[in-house]
Structure 1
């Protein structure tokens, strides 16, 4: 076997560790000095023109969110200040790995991205239809997606690539178990749950922070497709899910989801037995029971698919005061990566497009750039500080400080992690039919995967 070449950056600098991002302590946030991570994300975000690199095919609709449960003691966000508060929203469903022309009923995680137009600015909850994901370190996202896309030689998707990567990445087992279970192919977008997946945070006027998990439970009931039915539908109607969502709303059958939240006091994270910021793990409901927050309803179809669905741009960093992030490493990378992708794919002024524009006043010093179409703030002052009544900072919106510790290093994200327990727990919760479907789906996907590591055609 020939010796492998040393991996380098684009500048030819040898890469010492391609498994772990640079963070402040093993659980700490990522560091801006991790040029290797940023180079990989920036390059990856520009690999496809012009469709999204991931989540390329989807469907979307407008709707409304109404607060039905009181969490005002946990967050100062005005949206949650009183039961009965409402805001408009836009929700985009999508495939993760499939391209624009992909059949809707292919086995693949589904994106579940929501833009809440609150009076304090947009809140983007950008998640999936699963509570976990395949990776816990963002440095591996590019490799993961490459393994799920198409071979560089044939342009075909290949089960060998997928299972090769999964077999060498034990942290993916929990998500793989969900993907190949009966929930791996939803019957429709209306019949699946949504999850923020990451650990986020909320904070109140007293400066108290809580870690949270967001859940959206379908009120239409969970319905799924067996593999054989999904294959048949893919041949008959590749746009089955997109068509179903549009038709249901047009008929007045408005789909709804109950929004729930799990809440963990900040201090609990230090001693909780499960790494609370690990994207491959869930918090058991017996430890942190979900509580109802509100009802989300979709009630209006877009008038122009490209202008509204394709140009919708979601950012996990869109967080009104009282809503925040966590040291989840994958989430921290997404804060940079999503906005960077939009600037490349749509243009620097993407936030001014109608579907992305907040429903509240916007005051920034951003100027110029390609396709500036909103007057470019006229002759208003374009620097800060200034003596001409330009927008100023508001310290009262400052989030509480986050205590961190640890040496800056590339920590092995697999060391000390148990990657089999929660996947096993999920399997043991399944009934006999669900277990049989899971095993059959895995066998079908692995049937042509070779035992040897040769990359056969």
Structure 2
């Protein structure tokens, strides 16, 4: 067996990888040492811009298997046959902290899933909560600025966090989720995943349905208290990454059962909640969960940077039978996610192995995109770079992926006043009243622990008003707990 030869980037053999070339023994380095210069220059460029949000992530490959017939609701090919399997890649993440942050912190978790279907890649980008803090994308940059490190102090500031929430009453529902028992998952394997947004399914007959995705963990939901989370983060900042990696390596493959809520499109106009508001859920008593299939993770990435850090998910990667809804946050993300990847990874990021389609055209997209950084000219000389053309190039199908969005006679719009229970606080109060006495006590303690650190009384009062509006007991207990902590 021949010995492998170390080479430069151009393929030339490297004579010495232990010593730099110098002008005589002990002399200065020589600029002509091409291997040294190339090695240092490449090292300087190893990192790429980290994600502004969801920077700290873990991921794994697996498959999705259909267990129940949903062809009455969607024509999506990967969902058309019970028993059909589709390869997947799932990326978990924290939201607010940087790439070097700890895993076991109180924060929503990203749950981004890529299906490598026979009709192209379908990306479902969600969280481990069914709702979010805001419902309009124009507020997203401000929200994230308030949650990340302060530009002066260089750390997350309770004043900033709670001041934003004080001015965003729609956040009360998600704050109740975040500060409750599920705010710190014990591991990525022990939490649910949600599409969070409302999406549209269209069946073969062209009938439209609005859907919400629920991935229920088959390992059972397990969470950490604030004290347990702090202890674990101090012992192993990579605790969730370690757990996921080791579980799959020893063959304990985590799995989730996918359920969906299905709303006939005609129901949307007069439903008591705005069905396209990301701060709201659809109660299961109105639209029960219907089982679809099973998601299993069974293979770790070979290289975390190449596959997890460079994995690019965009909610506008749909396939026939699935499309968007008038959800304003979703509509904003249809632009923002793809644009972030073009900035971080370049316009040809879809050519990377983790992002490339696997079951279409031999594993490559077929379009007229051209040039840019890292262009590969994948189709050679026989490709005309315009459309339409006379050379049998790829052409449009004329078939929309999903039904047109028509709500209240307007395409892509929705008038919220039609919804009788469409306020910022009703569902937050419902969630509070569903909790046990012990869960309520921990929720109140978690909120008071953060809110009591805020230095402005008016910000505290605005937040207390939100909890009072959600439930009288909820507000009273939070107010008393905050007052007690501030008097200590």
User: Where on the TM-score scale, by shorter chain, does this alignment land: which range?
Assistant: 0.7 to 0.9
Displacement of 1:154? 1.4
Displacement of 1:115? 0.2
Whole-angstrom CA distance in 2 between matches of 1:260 and 1:175: 21
Aligned residue in 2 for 1:419: 424
Aligned residue in 1 for 2:388: 385
Aligned residue in 1 for 2:352: 353
Displacement of 1:402? 2.3
Whole-angstrom CA distance in 2 between matches of 1:398 and 1:219: 32
Whole-angstrom CA distance in 2 between matches of 1:73 and 1:263: 11
2:433 counterpart (402, 414, 428): 428
1:394 counterpart (359, 382, 397): 397
Report the TM-score, using the length of structure 1 for normalisation.
0.86
Aligned residue in 1 for 2:213: 214
Whole-angstrom CA distance in 2 between matches of 1:374 and 1:134: 43
1:286 counterpart SS class: coil
Aligned residue in 1 for 2:98: 99
Aligned residue in 1 for 2:247: 248
Whole-angstrom CA distance in 2 between matches of 1:77 and 1:412: 30
Matches within 5 A, 1:219-230: 219-230=218-229
> Greater helix share, 1 or 2?
2
Aligned residue in 1 for 2:325: 326
Q: Establish whether residue 363 from structure 1 lines up as the match of residue 366 from structure 2.
A: yes
Displacement of 1:396? 3.3
Displacement of 1:373? 3.3
Aligned residue in 2 for 1:25: none
Matches within 5 A, 1:60-71: 60-71=59-70
Aligned residue in 2 for 1:174: 173
Contact 1:199/1:326 (8 A) holds in 2? yes
Displacement of 1:260? 0.6
Matches within 5 A, 1:285-324: 285-324=284-323
Aligned residue in 2 for 1:42: none
Q: Establish whether residue 113 from structure 1 lines up as the match of residue 112 from structure 2.
A: yes
Contact 1:313/1:356 (8 A) holds in 2? yes
Aligned residue in 2 for 1:33: none
1:395 counterpart SS class: coil
CA distance 1:128–1:374, shift in 2 (3 Å): farther
Whole-angstrom CA distance in 2 between matches of 1:63 and 1:176: 32
Whole-angstrom CA distance in 1 between matches of 2:246 and 2:447: 33
Whole-angstrom CA distance in 1 between matches of 2:242 and 2:302: 14
User: 5+ residue gaps in structure 2?
Assistant: 1-46, 460-488
2:399 counterpart SS class: helix
Aligned residue in 1 for 2:25: none
2:263 counterpart SS class: strand
Aligned residue in 2 for 1:86: 85
Displacement of 1:445? 1.3
Whole-angstrom CA distance in 2 between matches of 1:338 and 1:184: 25
Whole-angstrom CA distance in 2 between matches of 1:409 and 1:430: 35
Higher CA-based Rg: 2
Displacement of 1:378? 3.8
Alpha-carbon displacement from aligned partner over 1:184-222 (angstroms, at most 9, x marks no partner): 000000000000000001001211110000010000000
Whole-angstrom CA distance in 1 between matches of 2:183 and 2:115: 27
Report the TM-score, using the length of structure 2 for normalisation.
0.80
Displacement of 1:397? 4.3
CA distance 1:394–1:412, shift in 2 (3 Å): closer
Displacement of 1:408? 11
User: 5+ residue gaps in structure 1?
Assistant: 1-47
* Count of matched residue positions in the alignment of Structure 1 and Structure 2: 407
CA distance 1:252–1:73, shift in 2 (3 Å): same
Contact 2:322/2:401 (8 A) holds in 1? no
Aligned residue in 2 for 1:17: none
For the aligned residue pairs, the C-alpha RMSD in angstroms reads: 2.2
CA distance 1:423–1:305, shift in 2 (3 Å): same
Whole-angstrom CA distance in 1 between matches of 2:101 and 2:401: 44
Aligned residue in 2 for 1:375: 378
CA distance 1:412–1:259, shift in 2 (3 Å): closer
CA distance 1:353–1:444, shift in 2 (3 Å): same
CA distance 1:73–1:377, shift in 2 (3 Å): farther
Aligned residue in 2 for 1:5: none
Displacement of 1:401? 2.4
CA distance 1:296–1:408, shift in 2 (3 Å): closer
Alpha-carbon displacement from aligned partner over 1:167-195 (angstroms, at most 9, x marks no partner): 11100000000000010000000000000
Aligned residue in 2 for 1:445: 450
Whole-angstrom CA distance in 2 between matches of 1:409 and 1:87: 34
Contact 1:352/1:374 (8 A) holds in 2? no
* Runs of 4 or more above 6 Å deviation: 407-413
Displacement of 1:252? 0.3
Whole-angstrom CA distance in 2 between matches of 1:308 and 1:385: 35
